Structure 1
Amino acid sequence: MADRFAISFHETFSLSRPSLAPILENAKRKGALNRQFFVETSLGTNYQKAMPRYAFRSGLLDKRNHLTVFGRYAADFDPTLDKPATQWLLHYHLAAPHGPTAFWHHLVRKRFLPGNTFTTDDLTADLTGFLSDTAGKAPAPRSIRSTVTIFTGTYLKMDGLRQIGLLEESGSNTYRVPAANSPPLWSVGYALAEYWHAHYGERLTINLDDLTQGDFAAVFLLGEEGLTQLLIQLKQEGMLDLYRIARPYQVVLLQPSLEYALQKMYQM
């Protein structure tokens, strides 16, 4: 099992969608990512280490290098990972609070607020403090700086997640979170089902505030009103129900299947 507090998985490379694509193709063709992939691929040695780890941490592969449900649908319907909805889910899995990359969630939760600006030094201090508090010690400053670079690079590079517009440069070593783009409806639908399963298991009903005022909304850079509007749309689509007569308002998940949302997302 991957160490949730490890930061060296990236081998100094940001996430690269063109490098994840052959991993998806190999895992689809072979049933799981296998050793032959590393013989056939043109990826360099460190890339061969980093990109499968990204595939796992971004929700495409499971711990045994098999395609996840999301990975299987992406391989079938978006093998180049170009669609915005797919890229939002790569971001979601990297930043999910229960995911395998704890520091990613911490940095997104703290800094990715629409209109917020911050610097490389801010992220370095955030990451150092987070690892000191949660893992008991922080890695060497060089490793911290490298991780900050790959984190920002993932959202700034065109072969990463720049298309979904979560981060932009506003000066030397300074970044700005632009006004939030509303994520595609069914990427939120899939993420809701995945988040619900991870945090609430088989529960049928939860408080609306648990979603709109907590980690789930924050990962999508949504305020209470923005997420509520998307949930209303998902209600209209039959995925959930909302009870807003008296507080605490309730959400009922009617369609907990990840495949249900993915079929809608890829318009099957």
Structure 2
Amino acid sequence: MAMEKKLAINFHETFSLSRDSIRQILEIAKNEKLSKELLARTSLGTNYQKAMPKYAFRAGLLDQRNKLTSFGRFVAQYDPAMSHPSTQWLIHYHLAKPHSPTAFWSHLVIKRFIPGNTFTNEDLANDITKFLQEHADNIHSTRSIRSTTTVFIGTYLKQDGLGNLRLLQEQAANTYLVLIPETPSKWVIGCALVEYWGVHYKGRLTINLDDLIEKKFAGVFLLGEERLTDLLLQLKQEGMIDLYRISRPYQIVLLQPDCEYVLQKIYHI
């Protein structure tokens, strides 16, 4: 994806992520190609029809041609309401991963989503402004940036978004606390690891555990080294990876690089 598209911030049409709206998008994509005519038959308003396919793409559910990904197919069939915590964690991962189609989202999560941290709308607006100044040539209005901060926060507070993950809590007007969430399942980490490995380490037999910590993989899930290592040891017991911890740098070997294998585990297929 071109860098200018990754730096776009207005894809949301001023709406936070809505799982029920995306459900309607996936229902169409299961059987037919998305089109304006088919989207018009949903209960979604005009701007929702524009925004929610873009969210579904950024959430890893649709590819660039608006066709279901492997993750999207499993969700559409086995968890259409996207109520399963693992589904919501993977949606969050795809939105916030370092190679996210929407770069500012990853930047905000990595910088601000540290358990115990507090921040305000103004902090996020400043973060986005500085990020765009450093990476983009185009100038966004103050109104557009403020709208984007509201959308970002709303995605993590609203029950129809990712509020059930309990990553954020509103402390006072426009002030938010980053919580210590329930640890994602080992299979969520496994699925994310397969995707991350394919992008950053394709063709590699081993990587350093430190790479997953220093290069922001662990931070997406609000995990420190100890909790991440515990989940990786669980994946080792399942035969998905091997983990060598004789001496640093600790080495990870990916034994099962098939995302569908992990999705079957998540949805008990």
Q: What's the TM-score bracket when you normalise by the shorter of the two chains? A: over 0.9
Q: Distance in 1 between matches of 2:252 and 2:120?
A: 38
Residues 61, 71 of structure 2: 8 Å contact kept: yes
Q: Distance in 2 between matches of 1:237 and 1:253?
A: 12
Residues 118, 178 of structure 2: 8 Å contact kept: yes
Q: Distance in 2 between matches of 1:232 and 1:81?
A: 27
Q: Which residue of structure 2 aligns with residue 264 of structure 1?
A: 265
- Pairwise CA distance, 1:35: 3.5
Do residues 66 (structure 1) and 80 (structure 2) align?
Answer: no
Q: Which residue of structure 2 aligns with residue 7 of structure 1?
A: 9
Q: Which residue of structure 2 aligns with residue 254 of structure 1?
A: 255
Q: Which residue of structure 2 aligns with residue 84 of structure 1?
A: 85
The aligned runs of 1:126-145 (5 Å cut-off) are 126-145=127-146
For structure 1, which segment, 243-252 or 133-142, has the greater mean C-alpha deviation from structure 2 after superposition?
133-142
Q: Deviations over 1:193-216 (max 9, x none)?
A: 000001011211000111133310
The aligned runs of 1:1-268 (5 Å cut-off) are 1=1, 3-30=5-32, 32-268=33-269
Q: Distance in 2 between matches of 1:138 and 1:130?
A: 11
**Identical counterparts, % of pairs:** 63
Residues 17, 159 of structure 1: 8 Å contact kept: yes
Q: Distance in 2 between matches of 1:138 and 1:147?
A: 14
| Secondary structure in 2 matching 1:9 | coil
Residues 153, 160 of structure 1: 8 Å contact kept: yes
Q: Distance in 1 between matches of 2:77 and 2:186?
A: 20
Q: Distance in 2 between matches of 1:253 and 1:142?
A: 45
| Secondary structure in 1 matching 2:243 | strand
Structure 2, unaligned runs of 5 or more: none
Residues 240, 253 of structure 1: 8 Å contact kept: yes
Q: Deviations over 1:207-239 (max 9, x none)?
A: 011113331000000001110100000100111
Q: Distance in 2 between matches of 1:127 and 1:138?
A: 11
- Could you state the TM-score of these two structures normalised by the residue count of structure 2? 0.97
- Pairwise CA distance, 1:138: 3.6
Residues 180, 222 of structure 1: 8 Å contact kept: no
Q: Distance in 2 between matches of 1:125 and 1:64?
A: 33
Q: Deviations over 1:44-76 (max 9, x none)?
A: 110000001001011000000100010011111
| Secondary structure in 2 matching 1:145 | helix
Structure 1, unaligned runs of 5 or more: none
Q: Distance in 2 between matches of 1:235 and 1:166?
A: 27
| Secondary structure in 1 matching 2:40 | helix
Residues 7, 102 of structure 2: 8 Å contact kept: yes
Q: Distance in 2 between matches of 1:207 and 1:132?
A: 33
- The one-letter code matched in structure 2 to 1:28 is K
For structure 1, which segment, 32-41 or 142-151, has the greater mean C-alpha deviation from structure 2 after superposition?
32-41
Residues 27, 34 of structure 1: 8 Å contact kept: no
- Pairwise CA distance, 1:137: 4.3
- Could you state the TM-score of these two structures normalised by the residue count of structure 1? 0.97
